[in-house]
Amino acid sequence: MPSWIGHLNKRKTTIGILIVSFFVVVFLFGVQDVGAVDQFGVDQVDQTIELTGTDIRLVVARIIRVALTLLGIIAISLVIYGGAIIMTSAGNEARVLQGKKVLINAAIGLAIIFSSLAITQFIIVRLGGAVSGRPGITAVRPPGTESFRASGSLGRVVRDHYPLRRQTDVKRNTKIVVSFVEAIDQESIINDTNGNGIFGDCLENQDPFSWEIHCDHLNTEAVQITVLTDEEENNQEAIRGAALTTLEGEDQEAFTFVFKPFNLLGNDQEAVRYNVRLTENIIKKRRDQDGDDVSIFEGQFTPFYEWYFDTDTIADFEPPRVESIYPNSRTVPRNSIVQVTFTEAMDPLALQGIINGEDNSFTHLIFHDPAVTGEWRITNGYRTVEFIGSEACGQNSCGDIIYCLPVSCVEEGCVDDYSALIRTADTQPENSFSAIPFSGVVDLSDNALDAGEIGVREGKPPVAGNPRLIGEEEDAPDNVLWQFRVRNEIDRTAPYVESVTPALDASGIRGDAPLRMTFNDAMWYRSLGAVNLHEYPFGVDGLEEPWFYLRAANVGEGENDKTVLRLEHREFGPGNRDLYYFTSVSSTVKNVTQNCLYPGQGPVVDVENRDAQGESSPTCVVGENENCVPVTLDPNTDTGCVQTTNPGQDGINLLQPDITTCIDFLENISVR
């Protein structure tokens, strides 16, 4: 073999080892606990070893990892030294052999260090789970740091549920509700126990009525509601109950399911903890291309979703009330939606339905004229019900169809008077607000709506004649009747984010810090599901993505309604981790006139002034271009990527082509 080939092989060996060493270095130093709790931007944070407030087992494991990292540095140095000996041997076989020996020993050392580091990392992850109380799939104790990728932060699989995660003092007579993102095959959750061929209903007009006899039952293989005990193995039998659903949309699909336990939850002596598990036996309505069933957890990290809550020792006999109405005693454009928010979570079975002017039309919430058709849908933690008309009247800036309320006048700008009615439920004679099932609007404990003197049952006024019409006698407690006006015009004004809390690029945020967004207009609550929370770096020490859910409320007076959106979230930076947080708001978020949010418009602050901005961001006023992202109305560059620590020349980094690019950009500058 010619000598130059021999030298080439030696150099190939050396280069190969150096390349392997490079990737080892990347592994050793590429994953760090970095960042600061932060919204819409980033702060630079020193790399540190977090010891304070951490379990001693994790401290020891992390010290071992650091020690192995130092050994890795020594091994890499030996690799470089051995390679240098060979490269400078000038054909001296003794030096070549010496260099090879150094390289071989260094490679063996690297293999040992690499294996040890992998084992240590595994131990850290397992200890982290043990310290936080986070169980495996079959464990019965609830997680200390709850986060479920299958939920997609209440986004990919589950849209909402009641009771809430870790909720306490849940009344013993409550129903349990789950809403999914995709339409569900009702037969996978519900057994047609009453035998009428419909999955998710009760036989009405039964006297006496029985939830167990006359209603369909829950499939406990799909939804398991069990008592959590201190026993290592949970052998509790799943609670039996009625399972009902209400169909939505033109295709009449099932997204929301209501479960009514046959017996009261808990007991009257102490709180009892219940776990609700949604299993992989729940099937999507839409089949795959071969027509086969698809689990809702297909492709998800875990094949289930679960949460727990604690019961009170008493049942709920307090009636719900109306908290706010939009619009009420005001004039709105034709493309407005209608919102009613209650003081507590309500039964979707009593509030969701289609008004179509036919005999099977929904009649618990109606308008003065049967020509007003559309659909009521529940949202906002089951506290708000929203109506959108069925008359298509154009498109918004996103290309979505806008739906309008009908007006009888034809001149542009003319006004029609509207009335709307909420019908309370009939009540049992022996109990103040205990409702007769399916007779009107009730909360999740089957208490009828109270709209008169607080806590006093005036009863449901009689429905005279056609239930699709508002009778003269129905304008009385405990019904709710209100008026507004609809103008023959379409409002195309786009909403925007006015301010955020915590402030832009805030750091050192406590784990339970409130996270809020204020919009400049009243928003369509159902569309707010497009708001998202991102945590970076992702999956540090095996930590799963944060769960969060959204709750909205309108504030302001007169014609100046604004929506404040709260993101109730898993603890920021759990276990004293330094992490970055970004929020994103898609253009599919809409206001009450169904106009899409312009994603580039929102609050920002100059670098020089950010330290003095206070707890919240400055208020963006688009019309005056004050404290706002300088959008250019160019769809290729106009997503507002709001951060203030690295704005770049002339603020160019504030604008990105889309949200995905923006989040990638923020993540990249987070670790610089």
Q: What pLDDT score does 624 carry? A: 74
Nearest one of 221, 151, 219 to 181, comparing CA atoms: 151
Annotate 139-170 with DSSP letters as a single string: --SPPSS---GGGTTTTSSEEEEESPTT--SB
- Whether pLDDT at 9 is above 80: no
**Cβ partners under 8 Å of residue 94, min gap 6:** none
Residue 648 lies in a domain: yes
607/268: higher pLDDT: 268
Q: Report yes or no on 106 lying in a domain.
A: yes
The CATH number given to whatever domain includes residue 454 is 2.60.40.1220
Mean of per-residue pLDDT scores for the chain? 81
Single-letter amino acid, residue 490 = I
641-652 pLDDT per residue, tens: 777 665 555 556
In a domain? residue 25: yes
C-alpha to C-alpha distances, 130 to 26, 126, 135, 607, nearest whole angstrom: 28, 6, 8, 42
For residues 259 and 391, membership in a common domain is answered with no
The pLDDT tens digits for 328-367 are 999 999 999 999 999 999 999 999 999 987 777 899 999 9
Q: What is the mean pLDDT of residues 363-374?
A: 94
**Number of structural domains the chain divides into:** 4
Q: Please, are residues 445 and 425 in contact by the beta-carbon 8 Å criterion?
A: no
Residue 492 counted as domain residue: no
Q: Pick the last residue of a domain from 275, 310, 345.
A: 310
pLDDT higher than threshold 90 for residue 58: no
Query: pTM for the full model?
Result: 0.76
428 plus 574 within the same structural domain: no
Residue 140 has pLDDT above 50, yes or no: no
pLDDT of residue 99: 79
DSSP lists the bridge partners of residue 566 as 516, 551
Instruction: Decide: residue 50, CB within 10 A, 0-12 exposed, 13-18 middle, 19+ buried.
Output: middle
Number of other residues whose CB lies within 10 A of the CB of residue 239 = 20
Q: How far apart are CA 179 and CA 669, in angstroms?
A: 37
pLDDT of residue 40: 31
Question: Are 403 and 389 spatial neighbours (Cβ–Cβ below 8 Å)?
Answer: yes
More confident residue, 500 or 507: 500
Q: Is the pLDDT confidence value at 150 over 50?
A: no
**Within a domain: 475:** yes
> How far is C-alpha 417 from the chain's CA centre?
38
What is the rounded end-to-end Cα distance, in angstroms, of the chain? 50
What is the mean predicted confidence (pLDDT) over 192-210? Answer: 92
Calpha distance 380→551 (Å, rounded): 6
pLDDT recorded at residue 547 = 84
- 71-112 pLDDT per residue, tens: 778 877 887 887 788 778 777 778 878 878 888 887 887 778
Same domain, 326 and 295: no
Phi, psi of 451 (to 5 degrees): -125, 10
In this structure, is residue 379 part of a structural domain?
yes
Among candidates 241, 303, 245, which has minimal Cα distance to 278? 303
Question: What integer pLDDT is reported at residue 50 of this predicted model?
Answer: 30
Asked if 84 and 21 sit in the same domain, the reply is yes
Is the alpha carbon torsion for 120, 124, 126, 131 positive or negative?
Answer: positive
Residue where a domain stops, chosen among 275, 290, 310: 310
Is the Cβ–Cβ distance between 510 and 357 less than 8 Å? no
36 pLDDT band, cuts 50/70/90, is very low
- For 625, the domain range is 497-670
**Residue 145 clears pLDDT 90, i.e. is over it:** no
Per residue in 215-227, pLDDT (tens digit) is: 999 999 999 999 9
pLDDT at 107: 80
How confident is residue 31, by pLDDT bands cut at 50, 70 and 90? very low
Let me know whether 241 and 331 are in one domain. Answer: no
Which of 285, 310, 335 marks a domain boundary?
310
Least confident segment among 37-41, 186-190, 382-386: 37-41
Mean pLDDT of 222-251: 86
**Considering the domain boundaries, does residue 383 fall inside one?**
yes
| Residue tagged 């310290």 (tokens) | 131
Q: Is residue 273 located within the same domain as residue 395?
A: no
The answer to whether position 144 is within a domain reads no
* Structure confidence at residue 132 (pLDDT): 35
Q: Tell me the C-alpha distance between 510 and 612, whole Å.
A: 19
Q: Is residue 390 scored above 90 in pLDDT?
A: yes
Give CA–CA dist 363/461, Å, rounded: 14
Query: What is the rounded distance in angstroms from the CA atom of residue 228 to the CA atom of residue 263?
Result: 17
* C-alpha span between 105 and 116 (Å, rounded): 16
pLDDT above 50 for 141:
no
